[in-house]
Amino acid sequence: MDPYGGPAGRRVLAALDGYVSSQWWANQGYAVVIADGRGTPGRDPAWDHSIHLDKGDAALADQIVALHAAAEAFPDLDLRRVGIRGWSYGGYLSALAVLRRPDVFHVAVAGAPVTDVYLYDTHYQERFLGHPAEHADVYDRGSLIADAPNLSRPLMLIHGLADDNVLPAHTLRLSAALVAAGRPHTVLPLPAASHMPTDTNVVANLFALQAEFLARALCPPGG
Task: Please identify which of the residues 2, 36, 62, 88 carries the catalytic annotation.
Answer: 88
Contact at 8 Å (CB) between 192 and 145?
Answer: no
Cβ within 8 Å of residue 57, ≥6 positions away: 100, 141
Q: 163 an active-site residue?
A: yes
Angle 91-140-175 (CA atoms, 0-180°, nearest 5)?
Answer: 45
- Residue 151's closest CA among 220, 214, 101? 101
Task: Please identify which of the residues 2, 94, 163, 170 carries the catalytic annotation.
Answer: 163
What is the DSSP code (8-state) at residue 88?
T
99-135 per-residue burial string, b: 16 or more CB within 10 A, e: under 16: bbbeebbbbbbbbbbbbbbeebeeeebeebbeeeeee
Strand 186-190's sheet: what is its strand order?
83-87, 107-111, 155-160, 186-190
Catalytic residues: 88, 163, 195
